[in-house]
Amino acid sequence: MSGNERVGAVIAALVALILFVGVPYMLPWYLPPDITQLLSESGLDLQGLMNQIMILGAVTAALTLVKGFVGRASPISLAISVAQNVASLAFMVVLLGAGDFASLGVTSFTVSVSSTTSHVIMDFRVFVYFTALTVALRVAEAYLAWSEAKAEALPPGRIPP
């Protein structure tokens, strides 16, 4: 691995850390009080959602950093690519489920205004299915890229398995 690739990995990990850990950590303090009150009345656990996003962001940043320091033909590189794709699926499920990972994209809110109560259910499962299909295709792509890098890393004259 060249020094430029390592510097790029460090920069990418820092950007991921800032976007997915720093911003969600600071976001609740910058929301207006009426928005915060509306979210709490609707049953959305904003702090829980932010915690899940921060955990996934830290995992993604760590995986990005480690991937920048291992060779492309390494089995660790393949495992990290698969883990990054699974983390992106988990991130999408957390976002579409509004912090409830087990709902798999079905979000429900209850909003009460004076004597009227509205119960809203949003079914985003089709987006979760498309994301899962995309992740499966990206895992296959990562395997093919790893297999090609492994074949290129063989000494001259060796036939790839």
Residue 130 resides in a domain: yes
Structure pTM?
0.78
Total domains in the fold of the chain: 1
Q: What range does the domain containing 99 cover?
A: 3-152
Residue 159 resides in a domain: no
Q: In degrees rounded to 5, what are phi and psi of residue 106?
A: -100, 115
Residue 132 resides in a domain: yes
DSSP 8-class letter at 44: -
pLDDT in tens, 64-116: 999 988 888 888 999 999 999 999 999 998 888 877 777 788 887 777 777 88
Residue 26 resides in a domain: yes
DSSP 8-class letter at 158: P
